[in-house]
Amino acid sequence: MSQLNMKRIYLYSKFERFWHWVQAVLITLLLVTGFEVHGVYTLFGFEQAVDIHATAGISWVILYVFIAFWLLTTGEWKQYIPTTKRLLVVMRYYAFGIFRGEPHPVQKKREAKHNPLQRLTYLGLASVLIPIMLATGLVYYYYNELALNDLGLVANLHVVGAFLILMFYVVHVYMTTTGHSVTAHIQAMFTGWEEVEDESQVEDWERADKVDNVTTS
């Protein structure tokens, strides 16, 4: 772990923390009830699982509209502009460096709070996978009203998407434990404040490695 001094920066606003945790609860409910509906196990009972699933699903559609509005109006969508700059370095860090106690290769900043790998992942989720889940879920929900006679493609997409969301969920929860302490990232998502290395303390040889840090502009 790094010997550098730390400073606190404000990363996550109140609304961001609110939607993060509401979304976490909804996705957990959707995964648990969705796989029950799929027949993997019995927990709530089929009928109740379907009810909880539909309620959580519709709540998520509504929340998603608010999140999209917030991202667009605050300009925070820029945090998700994809970049390949330092992407390989970050991937290498999570594959090897992290197990050798190396410092994270990308410094978090208020205006660039996601590393290049997070940007790609979150952009893919927010613009492809989640819309697919919401849309296929809605078609499922309004199946009778839509008078469709075959749900095959929609159902398959919904289930494949569910497995992808499950994969993201597992990796995401693991990643939350990889801050400078096991709970640092999780605490930051509750308080808004995260401790990061104080750049003024960065040694010259490290600064050379940090000059091309990701920025939003």
Whether 24 contacts 47, CB under 8 Å: no
For ligand HEM, which residue of 12, 16, 30, 93 counts as binding (CB under 6 A)?
A: 30
Question: Is 7 an interacting residue with respect to ligand HEM (CB under 6 A)?
Answer: no
CA dist 60 and 84 (Å) reads 31
Give, as ranges, the residues between 132 and 151 that touch ligand HEM (CB under 6 A): 133-134, 137-138, 140-141
Binding region for ligand HEM (CB under 6 A) out of 29-37, 79-87, 91-99, 175-183: 29-37
Q: CB of residue 63 vs ligand HEM: minimum separation in angstroms?
A: 10
Using the minimum distance from each CB to ligand HEM, give the nearer residue, 9 or 125: 125
Which residues are near ligand HEM by CB under 6 A? Answer: 27, 30-31, 34-35, 37-38, 50, 53-54, 57-58, 60-61, 133-134, 137-138, 140-141, 155, 158-159, 162, 165
